[in-house]
Each structure stands twice: as C-alpha cells, then as structure tokens.
Homo-oligomer: A and B are copies of this chain.
Amino acid sequence: MFKKVLVAEDFDSISITVAQALEELSVSEIHHAKYCDDAFLKIKKAIKDNLPYDLLISDLSFKTDHRENKLNSGDELIAAIKKVQPDIKTVVFSIEDKSFRIKSLFNDLGINAYVAKGRNSIPELKKAIQGVFNNNTKILSQELTHALRDKSLIEIETYDISLLKLLSKGLILDEIALDFKNSGIIPNGSSSIEKRINKLKIFFKANNNVHLIAIAKDLGLV
C-alpha cells in the first residue's frame, strides 16, 4: 500500500473520516492540509527532502475566508503539483458530479481516480485508492459511471464556456466580440457569436439569454 499520502480537504468533518479510512488501509504517513497553498508547500517540501508523497487525495472546492491564497481550487492545486511532481498519483474526492468537469480532470489534469462524495463514498474511496495502487487508472465511483456515458455535455467546448462566462458578466454581444478579438479567440464576429449563443439556447432548450445563463449556472458550467 501507499506509504505517504497527503489529503487536501478544507472541511474537518470530512478530513477526519478520510484519515481514518487511510489508517484502515495501513497507510503509515498521513498528512493533511486545509488550504491548497499549504498542500502545495508540503508537496514541494517533501520533494526537497527526497521523501516525496506517493498519493494525493484532493477536494475540488475550497471555502474562501480571510486568508489570501495563490491556489484556490483543487484544479489549480493538482495542475501546480503535476508540474513539480508529474508522477504523483491523484485521487479526487469531491461533490462535483458534472460529466463535463470530471472528464476534464482525467483528460487535462491526468488524475487517476474520481470518487463522488455521497451516501456510500468512504468504501468507494478505499476501493479507488486500492485500485490506483494496483496501477489501475481512470477509476470512477459507481454512481458516476453512467454520468460519463451521458454525452450531452461533452460537445460543449471551452469556446462555449468562455462565451457563457462573458455573458454572465453582463457583457453585450459587441463587447464579447471585442473581448474575443483581444484574446485572439475565433470566431469573433458578433454575428458568429450570436449564432453560437443560439445553438446553445437550442441545445439547452432555453427561451432567451437570461434563461440560458440560469441553466448554465445550474449545471456548473460557469
């Protein structure tokens, strides 16, 4: 089993249970960080000391409080860690259940397993850790296997996300076109953007832009 494991999780109510689960799996060194920045520091320190971590278990969303942090989400944390220690195994333990988000975790960040927090998640987490240790990859908690089969969201690309983000900030079509031009994103004609928004409205069955953003917010796309 893994020897040295780092848990990045802000809620004490959850990290305590995760630590217990790791003990039951006979992990000898279990460390814990409540902030992404702290987690990153621990990883770097361990590399420097030539005693790197074998496994990272990370949440995705961290509460913001008075503290100023450089890394503010599990996504950012994992991306940063992969740069300094590309071979570290990673298990994400989060409430997020949008296929779009999870897919990008595997594809863009190269995580090894994803376990959704839920009614029976601790046994699943244990199983996932065991699986990653046995060099299985792309492990997904039971209830999510069907979610990823759902193709509905895969077709939404980063372009659409950028578009929805700007819309939700209150920009009008022309302003979005200008923003895209400045960012080098194409297509950036206001007419094309209009067309793309229309596609999204049809896709999500939205009556108008307001409705569209409400749906996008519900799906966690923006």
Contacts and interface: CB of A to CB of B under 8 A. Distances in A.
Stoichiometry, copies per complex: 2
A167 B211 CA distance: 7
A61 to B, nearest CB: 10
Interface residues of A, number: 39
Contact of A11 (B117, B207, B211, B222): B117
A172 interface: yes
A110 to B, nearest CB: 25
Contacts of A95: 63
A14 to B, nearest CB: 5
Interface in A165-190: 167-172
Given A17-B16, A214-B169, A118 B209 contact: no
A28 interface: no
B209 A119 contact: no
B211 A170 contact: yes
Contacts of A20: 16
Given A209-B209, A217-B218, 5 more contacts: A12-B120, A13-B14, A169-B214, A170-B214, A213-B213
